[in-house]
Amino acid sequence: MPRRDEVPYAEDVLFRERLLEAQRTAERSRLVRALRARRRAEVAARRAERLAARAELAVAAVTTGADGAVTA
């Protein structure tokens, strides 16, 4: 493997272009992963809100009888 100062100019330019493209690809991958994680968190938060609302309704249904009298 030749030393860095012995590499022809065209090969050096090609190496730098490939390095930059690899860095851009890595950055895009990180952004996509972050976006997916944020979307998953948003979906989980909405699901938790729906479950909490259902739990409140279930508790209200259990503590209130058919005639509206509180049974607990």
How far is Cα 22 from Cα 15, in angstroms, rounded to an integer? 11
Q: At 9, list the tokens.
A: 């100019």
Model confidence, pTM: 0.61
pLDDT at 1: 57
pLDDT at 64: 76
How far is Cα 62 from Cα 64, in angstroms, rounded to an integer? 6
pLDDT at 7: 76
Over its length of 72 residues, how does the chain's per-residue pLDDT go in tens digits? Answer: 556 667 799 999 999 999 999 999 999 999 999 999 999 999 999 999 999 999 999 999 888 765 666 555
How far is Cα 70 from Cα 64, in angstroms, rounded to an integer? 5
